[in-house]
Amino acid sequence: MNPTSKKNILVLAALGAAALAAASYGAYWWHTGRFMQTTDDAYVGGDISAISSKVSGYIQQLAV
């Protein structure tokens, strides 16, 4: 084998590894990453409401 064909094999191997890494990241993003939400300046605003029952006791059953 001459040096240029070894160089070509190394270049093709590097390109193949880069393509595999890109495909793996793309599959991860498509399956999981696109549903993750991030923010740098998160703020939660809302009103505070007091909740109380008219009768004291424990809830035994809740029909949904």
Dump pLDDT digits (tens) for 20-32. 999 999 999 899 8
Dump pLDDT digits (tens) for 3-53. 778 899 999 999 999 999 999 999 998 998 778 877 777 777 788 888 887
The Cα 8–Cα 11 span in angstroms is 5
Tokens representing residue 10 in the block: 């190394």
Q: What is the CA radius of gyration of the chain?
A: 29
Model pTM greater than 0.85? no
Give the distance from CA 57 to its chain's centroid. 42
